[in-house]
Structures are given as structure tokens and as C-alpha cells.
């Protein structure tokens, strides 16, 4: 029993054994971790709302306004983290531990530089950014305090992102999960103490998050330093190398751009929704909290596909890449179906946690039903994009994402809104916004399959020539 328990921890070689067993063992901790991360964000908001009395509603608005901006900074961490995951997984598969160590060292140095830059810019840019997004005056000060605290403490978030990405690259999923669960518990305890016990308001909530993330990054550093057989980190590896940095930029920046594009398109569509009135915005806000759980399988298995593909590309096992692609796609579809069924059965009850008006709950359920085909299309899009990124092709998925979310989603949203104007809906039917998004995701899935079948991604590996030819 103890041996089995120990086998859950440490690097997982995804180049051997059953693809299903390996992917299942690696993916489930990631899925649980993603769920925990969503719950911890929700609980944070509940604590602020609960302990700030009459200011609770405005505090929630301040958190929402601030996080929209903060997410744009997090894109930098995601970009570097995604790039190093691909590099580490390929070098791990190729058993090239020298380049693996250089990749880890250079990524750590880059994230330190980015974190320091964000911290230095926090004070001067925070008020300007809040004015740029037209933050209301009654929540401006709370938003400023919350956002500035997060930015000043961004080094913890940055290092946790990069270090957990490194661990995922070598197939270690269980340790980051336990660290994340510990972070959630610590954050909740500190938030209750700072906000409820010491009356520190939204600043206390942000400080609790910063401390919890900093602790998690220290734990991950200790874990990586203990993995000397894989990552024998030395000071010389921290010195930036043009080749390594170039690879990180080539792999990570397209992924970061894809994330930034999605955030930006959401801002445009949200502005469009705001023209339909607060009634619609409230329904959309409640719906998106549930929608986030429906897309979790796609996000999780995309990460699994990248690591599995990266390791097997590095080992020259294109035959296993094909097997793993099919396996991870089927797993993603199955878990998506489970989430969709739960949403259909319990969606109305879940919406009541955020919405009181029965008519708004009905509208929210309409939104969710419209999106059901999109959730399955997203499984296609995310899974095969993850495979291609793991192989070293980050540009293809980026161009697909840009085409869908910039050149298609925003124009379609305006078109669908305009053609649904009626006496009942003088600003357009709000269901049109979700219908346009659903159509875009379906088209994106079709384009992704076509690009995947063309197969250019097979020749984008950063390691040497494959040992096993594609058959």
C-alpha cells in the first residue's frame, strides 16, 4: 500500500506503458486542481461579501474589476510557464537532462525579471489602468488597493506558475495538486483572519492570496531542488542563454497571445452585453460561473495532451503520440459529457446561488443549453491544440485562436445582436451573444481538425530527429 502511495509522487514517464493509464494518472490530479482553483476564487469572494457588511456588494464589484486587469498580467506567467512545460517535457522524453536543466534555470530567471518589472510598475500603472476600464468612482479606491496588492506580490504567483509548469513537464501532477489544495486552505484561513478578524477589507483578501501563493512557490522550489536526478540546478543554468530564451519565446508567446486575445474579445462582448442592461449582465455573470466548470475538462486535457505529446516527441515515439491523441480526446469527451449532464440536472439550483430572480435563472439556463454543442466542440479544439503545442507548434493554434476570437467572434456577436432586435428586445436578444460564441467555437473545432490532419506540427520538435518514423 505504501509503495502504491509513493508511486503517485515523482516524475511520471509517459513514454512507456498504457497511454490510457498514464494519461488518467496524470490528468485526474490536474482536473481536481483546476476545480479547486475555481472554488477558491469563489470562496474568496464569499468571504469578502460576508464580512464587509453593507460594502459587500461594492467589494465584489471591486474584485471583479481588478481581476479583469490582473488576468492580463498573468498572461505573461502563463506564456513562460506553457513554454517551459513543452521544453521540459520534450527534453525529459529525450533524456537530455543538460538542456532540461538549462530550460528550468532560464525560465526561473525570466519569471524573476517579469515579476520584478510588474512589482515596480504596480504603483504608477494601477490607477491609470483602472481609469482605462472606466472603473466606477464608488469602487475605485477598493479596486486600487486590491489590484496594487496583487501586483506588488506577483512574484509568488509568478514562481508558483513556472515551478508547477516545470513539475508538470516531467509528469509530476500529484505534488502540485497537494500544494494547490494547501494554498486554498491557507488562503481561506488568512482571508477570514484579515478580512473578518482584522477588518482589512479587500486589501486583506489580496494579502491573503499573495502570502498563500508565496508559500506555495517556496514549497515547489524545495521539491524541484530535491529532484537532483532530473533537475540538477546550478547557478550557471540561471544565466540567460539566447538559444533557450529563443525557444521559450517561440513556444510561450503564441500561447500567451492566444490567452490575451480571448480575454480581449470577452471584454468587447461584455461591453456589448452591458448595452442590453444590468438585467442581462446579471444573468450572464451567474451563467459564466457555471460555464467555467463545463470547460474544465477541455482545459485540463489540453494540458495533459501537451505533456504527453512533448515527452513522446522527445523520445521519438510518434506512434504513441497518435495513440495518446485519440485516448486523451475520448477521455475529454467523456468528462465533458459528465459535466454537461450535471449542469443540465443541477444548473438551476447552482444559478440560485448567484441569482434570485426566477426569470433571470430561466435566461441563464437558456444560455447554458445554447452552449452545449460548444462544450463538445471545445473538447476537439483544446485537445488537438494541446497535442500540437506539445509537439512544438504553438503558432498554428495561435492563428486559429486569433481568427476565431478576433475576426469572427466579435463581428458575429454584433451581427447576431442586430438581427435579433425586436419590440421585446430593442437592444437585441441576449441569447444571440451565446449563439454567436457557440458558432465560433464549432468553426474553430473544424479548422483545428483540418490543421491537425495536415500534420505540419509533426516537424516542429525542439529536440533532435525522431527515432521512430511516423507510420
Angle between helices 431-454 and 242-274 (to 10 degrees): 150
**C-alpha span between 343 and 363 (Å, rounded):** 14
Q: What is the mean pLDDT of residues 227-233?
A: 77
Residues 278 and 213 in one domain: no
d(CA 87, CA 248): 8
The answer to whether residue 1 is domain-embedded is: no
Q: Do 354 and 286 contact (CB within 8 A), yes or no?
A: yes
Q: What is the pLDDT of residues 26-80, one digit of tens each?
A: 888 888 888 877 777 767 767 776 776 656 556 666 776 677 678 777 777 888 8
Same domain for 78 and 202?
yes
Any idea what the Cα angle at residue 299 is, between residues 322 and 457, rounded to 5°? 35
Residues 103 and 201 placed together within one structural domain of the fold = yes
Return phi, psi of residue 216, to 5°: -65, -35
Domain stops at, among 199, 221, 240:
240
Quick one: pLDDT at residue 432? 84
Residue 380 maps to a domain: yes
User: Which residues does 268 contact at the CB level (< 8 Å), separation at least 6?
Assistant: 410, 413
State which residues form the domain around 426: 251-471
Helix/strand/coil (H/E/C) assignment for every residue in the chain: CHHHHHHCCCCCCCCCCCHHHHHHHHHHHHHHHHHHHHHHHHHHHHHHHHHCHHHHHHHHHHHHHHHHHHHHHHHHHHHHHHHHHHHHHHHHHCCCHHHHHHHHHHHHHHHHHHHHHHHHHHHHHHHHHHHHCCCCHHHHHHHHHHHHHHHHCHHHHHHHHHHHHHHHHCCCCHHHHHHHHHHHHHHHHHHHHHHHHCCCHHHHHHHHHHHHHHHHHHHHHHHHHHCCCCCCCCHHHHCCCHHHHHHHHHHHHHHHHHHHHHHHHHHHHHHHHHCCCHHHHHHHHHHHHHHHHHCHHHHHHHHHHHHHHHHHHHCCEHHHHHHHHHHHHHHHHHHHHHHHHHHHHHHHHHHCCCCCCHHHHHHHHHHHHHHHHHHHHHHHHHHHHHHHHHCCCCHHHHHHHHHHHCCCHHHHHHHHHHHCCCCCCCCCCCHHHHHHHHHHHHHHHHHHHHHHHHCHHHHCCCCCCCCECCC
CA torsion 18-19-20-22 (nearest 10°) is: 80
CA 89 – CA 105 distance, rounded (Å): 15
User: How many Å apart are CA 152 and CA 149, to the nearest integer?
Assistant: 5
Contact yes or no for 409/382 (Cβ under 8 A): no
461 vs 393, residue with greater confidence: 393
Are 233 and 258 members of one domain?
A: no
Does any domain span residue 131?
A: yes
What are the grid coordinates assigned to 130, written together? Answer: 483602472
Is there a single domain that holds both residue 277 and residue 233?
A: no
Determine, yes or no, domain membership for 9.
no
Query: Which whole number is the average pLDDT over 260-268?
Result: 70
CB 47 within 8 A of CB 188: yes
Q: Are 45 and 66 in contact (CB under 8 A)?
A: no
Assess whether 225 and 331 both reside in one domain: no
pTM score > 0.85 for this model? no
- pLDDT value at 395 more than 60: yes
If one counts the domains in the chain, the total is: 2
User: Are 37 and 157 within one domain?
Assistant: yes
Residues 213 and 278 in one domain: no
Both 256 and 225 in one domain: the answer is no
Whether the Cβ atoms of residue 240 and residue 106 lie closer than 8 Å to each other: yes
Mean pLDDT of 331-337: 92
Task: Determine, yes or no, domain membership for 12.
Answer: no
Residues in the chain, total = 471
245 in any annotated domain: no
Burial 231-252 (b: 16+ CB within 10 A, else e): bebeeebeeebeebbebbebbb
So what's the pLDDT on residue 280? 67
pLDDT at 101 over 90: no
Residue 469: pLDDT band (50, 70, 90) is: very low
**Percent of the chain whose predicted confidence (pLDDT) is above 70:** 85
Residue 54 CB-density burial (10 A; 0-12 exposed, 13-18 middle, 19+ buried) = exposed
Q: Are 397 and 388 in contact (CB under 8 A)?
A: yes
pLDDT higher than 80, residue 309: yes
What value does the mean pLDDT of the chain take? 81
Q: Are residues 236 and 382 in the same domain?
A: no
Alpha-carbon distance of 184 to 189, in angstroms, equals 9
Rounded-to-integer distance, Cα 317 and Cα 471, Å: 11
Domain end marker among 179, 206, 240: 240
Residue 466 lies in a domain: yes
Confidence class for position 273, pLDDT limits 50, 70, 90: low
List, for residues 142-182, the tens digit of each pLDDT value.
Answer: 888 888 888 888 888 888 888 888 888 888 878 888 888 88
pLDDT at 376: 93
**Are residues 347 and 233 both part of a single domain?**
no
Residue 13 lies in a domain: no
219 and 291 housed in the same domain:
no
Exposure class string for 407-438: b at 16+ Cβ within 10 A, else e:
ebbbebbbebbeebeeeeeebbbbbbbbbbbb
Among 240, 272, 288, residue at a domain's last position:
240
- Asked if 427 and 421 touch (Cβ cutoff 8 Å), the reply is yes
Amino acid at each position: 500500500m505504501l509503495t502504491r502511495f509513493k508511486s503517485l509522487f515523482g516524475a511520471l514517464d509517459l513514454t512507456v506503458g498504457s497511454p490510457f493509464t498514464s494519461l488518467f494518472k496524470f490528468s485526474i490530479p490536474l482536473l481536481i486542481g483546476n476545480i479547486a482553483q475555481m472554488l477558491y476564487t469563489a470562496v474568496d469572494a464569499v468571504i469578502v461579501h460576508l464580512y464587509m457588511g453593507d460594502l459587500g456588494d461594492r467589494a465584489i464589484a471591486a474584485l471583479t474589476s481588478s481581476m479583469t486587469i490582473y488576468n492580463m498580467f498573468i498572461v505573461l506567467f502563463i506564456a513562460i510557464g506553457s513554454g517551459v512545460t513543452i521544453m521540459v517535457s520534450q527534453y525529459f522524453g529525450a533524456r537530455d537532462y543538460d538542456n532540461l536543466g538549462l530550460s528550468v534555470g532560464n525560465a526561473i530567471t525570466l519569471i524573476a525579471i517579469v515579476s520584478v518589472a510588474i512589482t515596480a510598475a504596480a504603483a504608477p500603472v494601477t490607477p491609470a489602468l483602472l481609469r482605462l476600464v472606466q472603473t466606477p468612482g464608488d469602487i475605485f479606491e477598493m479596486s486600487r488597493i486590491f489590484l496594487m496588492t496583487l501586483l506588488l506580490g506577483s512574484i509568488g504567483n509568478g514562481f508558483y506558475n513556472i515551478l508547477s509548469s516545470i513539475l508538470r513537464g516531467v509528469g509530476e501532477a500529484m505534488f502540485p495538486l497537494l500544494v494547490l489544495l494547501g494554498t486554498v486552505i491557507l488562503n481561506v484561513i488568512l482571508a477570514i483572519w484579515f478580512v473578518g478578524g482584522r477588518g482589512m477589507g479587500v486589501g486583506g483578501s489580496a494579502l491573503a492570496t499573495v502570502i498563500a501563493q508565496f508559500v506555495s512557490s517556496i514549497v515547489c522550489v524545495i521539491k524541484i531542488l530535491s529532484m537532483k536526478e532530473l533537475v540538477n540546478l546550478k547557478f550557471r543554468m540561471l544565466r540567460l542563454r539566447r538559444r533557450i530564451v529563443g525557444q521559450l519565446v517561440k513556444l510561450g508567446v503564441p500561447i500567451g497571445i492566444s490567452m490575451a486575445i480571448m480575454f480581449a474579445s470577452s471584454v468587447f462582448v461584455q461591453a456589448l452585453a452591458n448595452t442590453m442592461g444590468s438585467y442581462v449582465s446579471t444573468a450572464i455573470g451567474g451563467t459564466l460561473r457555471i460555464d467555467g466548470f463545463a470547460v474544465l475538462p477541455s482545459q485540463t486535457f489540453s494540458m495533459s495532451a501537451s505533456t504527453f505529446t512533448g515527452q513522446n516527441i522527445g523520445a521519438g515515439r510518434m506512434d504513441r503520440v497518435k495513440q495518446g491523441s485519440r485516448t486523451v480526446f475520448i477521455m475529454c469527451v467523456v468528462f465533458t459529457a459528465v459535466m454537461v449532464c450535471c449542469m443540465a440536472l443541477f444548473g438551476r439550483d447552482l444559478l440560485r446561488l448567484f441569482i434570485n430572480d426566477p426569470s433571470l435563472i430561466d435566461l441563464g439556463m437558456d444560455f447554458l443549453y445554447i452552449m452545449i454543442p460548444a462544450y463538445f466542440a471545445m473538447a476537439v479544439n483544446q485537445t488537438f491544440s494541446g497535442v500540437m503545442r506539445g509537439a512544438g507548434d504553438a503558432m498554428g493554434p495561435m492563428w486559429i485562436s486569433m481568427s476565431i476570437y478576433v475576426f469572427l467572434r466579435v463581428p458575429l456577436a454584433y451581427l447576431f445582436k442586430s438581427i435579433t432586435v425586436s419590440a421585446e428586445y430593442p437592444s437585441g436578444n441576449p441569447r444571440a451573444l451565446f449563439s454567436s460564441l457557440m458558432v465560433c467555437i464549432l468553426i474553430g473545432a473544424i479548422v483545428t481538425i483540418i490543421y491537425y490532419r495536415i500534420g505540419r506540427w509533426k516537424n516542429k520538435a525542439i529536440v533532435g530527429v525522431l527515432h521512430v518514423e511516423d507510420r
